[in-house]
Amino acid sequence: MALDAMMRTRTETDSLGSLEIPGEAYWGIHTARALENFPISKRPISVYKDLVKALAMVKQASARANKEIGVLDAEKADLIDRAAQLVIEGQYHDQFVVGVIQGGAGTSTNMNANEVITNIALELAGREKGDYAFLSPIDDTNRSQSTNDVYPTAIKVGLGLDLLTLLDELDLLRKAFLAKAVEFHDVLKVGRTQLQDAVPMTLGQEFHGFATTLGEDHSRLKENAYLLYEINMGATAIGTGITTHPGYGQAVLRHLREISGLDLDLATDLVESTSDTGAFMSFSSSLKRNAIKLSKICNDLRLLSSGPQAGFGEINLPARQAGSSIMPGKVNPVIPEVVNQVAFAVAGADLTVTMAVEGGQLQLNAFEPVIAHSIFQSITWMRRGMHTLRVNCVEGITANRERLGGMVGSSVGVITALTPFIGYSAAAALAKTALLTGRSVADLVVEAGLMSREDVMKQLSPARLSGLEAITAAIPVIPPVADPAGEVGADPQIP
């Protein structure tokens, strides 16, 4: 671009006065004032591309509805429609420059969208940017609308679009864990409760559990998304619909459903819907649930891979980078660690959303900008976190089969499988002896005359230890055992 073109400006005027606007900018005076007023986050709304698309969808649906009901000239409506479509397709996003955190309940965002779409439309008509006498950002592009119905509707539509990509990534991660469950289906290991040895299971069962919990979260997120699909278009300022045509609400709903592909519906009480932000709180909570459960899975992966020599060392995570500037050869579980941190941020964002929802007053919640930023950031970070966890960690996990087999073989926890046959008291005494002597549980049971070698090995088979094969035979009655003093009911004598 030539230097003179870059230095060229145009003058725009609002109720507060006039400002010089860069000639190449598609935004105008209202956006310029927001840039001066809110240098807070240094992050423009364009970082959330689905929010920008959703704003354009709302403007496009409104233009079509206004044309349909006859309150906007067809030529103007078509120009706005075409301009909005270019934004929906991903163009001009760099012109959405207002900060994600702003005062005014989202007015700056709405005006940024009005100005950009209007100036794109003016160029399509062969006119200069800023020729608002021909096409006005407020009178035409914002016809039948208010920030107070456009902004929350755009947030909901944007979140609905963004969620689709999150759900896709979540399902890919679920499938990655499921594939590992199949790969490890025959790898026996010691399960743990409260970090203490419990009973055997397979590594496949453990990874299958990870897949199942992610599948449950997939369902919960979809359920909570429907709370976002109730919109308040046509409510304008406070829900009374002032300045709108009676047919606008249903018309814009129909067009927005078609444009977005989302199952949107119009709120039955527009006053309540304009002031209530509870849907955002519920949706944020479902994101937090998913993030915290994913973090727990990452905790497990870090524990299971710990060591590798002095820790659990049951699985190997892919080595992604050197883990220390002082300890040669050290490799850290950096991928699960970063996902843990994403979860912490999502939990914090959920608290922010909760407080912002509580802070609403009377007919409007002024804090929707921080609500939108918090939830969009959570979705974005979670999607990226899930992707790196799948690609850079889960898909490359391997099992230390020898180590796992050795731990199961020496575990006294296997005696739990024999309690239906020898009784709890006898099992507890044998377990204690096994721990003290390091001897095999199977040998101790056989030597005590409580079961035959054949029966012991049958019950301690991998299939039965992991619960993959149920015990279907009748449980024999274990007769009382006499101790040397002749007392009945005492523990058996342990060799």
CB 421 within 8 A of CB 450: yes
Q: Using DSSP, state whether 31 is helix, strand or coil.
A: helix
d(CA 310, CA 300): 17
For residues 264 and 250, give the distance between their C-alpha atoms in angstroms, rounded to a whole number: 11
**What is the Cα–Cα distance from 412 to 430, expressed in whole angstroms?**
9
Q: Which residues are catalytic?
A: 324
Q: At a CB cut-off of 8 Å and minimum separation 6, what does 231 contact?
A: 149, 152, 153, 156, 157, 253, 256, 264, 265, 266, 267, 273
Report the distance separating Cα 425 and Cα 414, nearest Å. 15
Task: Find out whether 305 and 353 touch, Cβ atoms under 8 Å.
Answer: no
**Pick from 130, 64, 78, 120: nearest CA to 95:** 120
Cβ-proximal residues to 195 (8 Å cutoff; 6+ apart), any chain? none
What is the C-alpha separation between 448 and 22, in angstroms, rounded?
92
Q: Which residues pair with 19 in a beta bridge?
A: 12
- List all residues 6 or more positions away from 175 whose beta carbon is below 8 Å from its beta carbon: 211
Q: Comparing C-alpha atoms, which of 150, 115, 111 is closest to residue 135? A: 115
**DSSP conformation letters of 8-26:** -EEEEEETTEEEEEETT-S
